[in-house]
Amino acid sequence: DEDAIPERGYKYIWTPASDISLDDFLSKYKPSMVENDGSKPWIWVRKGKELKAEVNELAALEESSGILKDITDQIENIKNDSSIPTRSNKKTGAKSKKELREQLQHDVRAKFEEIARKHNYLSGKWLMFASGEKIDRIWSSLATSLINGPLADTDAFCAKVATTPQEANPNYQHVVCLYLPNVYDKDTVLKVMHILLRNHGFNLSGVKSNMYTLLGIDSKHPSGIPSTIWKNKDFMNEKEMQALKDAFYAELENNATATTQSSSQVDTTNKKPSNSANQSSMSKKKKKDIFASDDEEDDEEQRRRADLAHRKKAIATSTKRTIAKDESEDSDHEQEKPKRKAAKRS
């Protein structure tokens, strides 16, 4: 049973009772890094509350499996019946093979829902798929949201992600499931869908009943019954879904920009004022005198020039003294050197 939560001893599951934190668990067991050797196909994260026991699960499966077999046989007969036209005929009222198949599939879906409600076998999951490059980030986001984020306030109670096959091809897609106790409750399903789009920007693939999973109904089942009981379009159109995802990514970008700007401000406060800052300060000082008269400005200019000439003269005098002193010291030093004795000639 792919939907059965593993018992104790399976180390790839986290619950609030686990010995390590959720963050440590997610860092330690990443779906892109855990290789499935047949004993660890899934990584799980579950809330503290237990799912109600589905005591009538076997009865629901027994009843629905018999119906599924009958429908599959009927679908096959329609396919092989040459008397049924490929296209419908309005004049005779004859339905096409496709129309007959779709009618049977629609009826059996309604029958399966009736059985699920009768036996209280209502659980299921939102399905998502992600590539190996994105799966770790997507899984971490979903699991964290389920325990400490927006999904924590919903009826969602468990999530799982497929690990990596030993011989995974480059285009391998990891399956991600978010479990709900009643997938026939449209309000609950829609609430979770809104969060998955607006708060996470996920790409969704529909909602599947756990009963469908145990019956083996998938996209390749010979009955042709759709593998999901709800498609995305049953709740929102493409434009509405895209608007929610766009809002998520816009918020993500704004937060990143704000963080970058905040870091830049911290860096600038620790740096010395630049020349431009000094120039700005000088400019501000000048602005204080914008109301001075022309005569006052002329007097100020004369004082500035006189002060500059005085400084130049002082610097020149100091330089001359330094040079004279150095020359004197060099002369004294030369006199102190002992004269070399003349070399004797042989």
Q: Supply the mean pLDDT for the chain.
A: 81
* Amino acid identity, position 324: A
Does residue 256 register a pLDDT over 90? no
Q: What is the pLDDT of residues 191-243, one digit of tens each?
A: 999 999 999 999 999 999 999 999 999 999 999 999 999 999 999 999 999 99
d(Cα 328, Cα 27) in Å, to the nearest integer?
77
Does residue 67 register a pLDDT over 50? yes
Domain 13-51+123-252 has CATH 3.30.760.10: yes
91: helix, coil or strand?
coil
Strands (E), 185-282: 204-209
165 contacts 36 by C-beta, under 8 angstroms:
yes
d(Cα 251, Cα 321) in Å, to the nearest integer?
70
Answer positive or negative: Cα dihedral of 210, 230, 131, 194: negative
Strands 35-36 and 164-165: parallel
Say what the pTM is: 0.72
Confidence of residue 114 (pLDDT cuts 50, 70, 90): very high
Q: What percent of the chain has pLDDT over 90?
A: 60
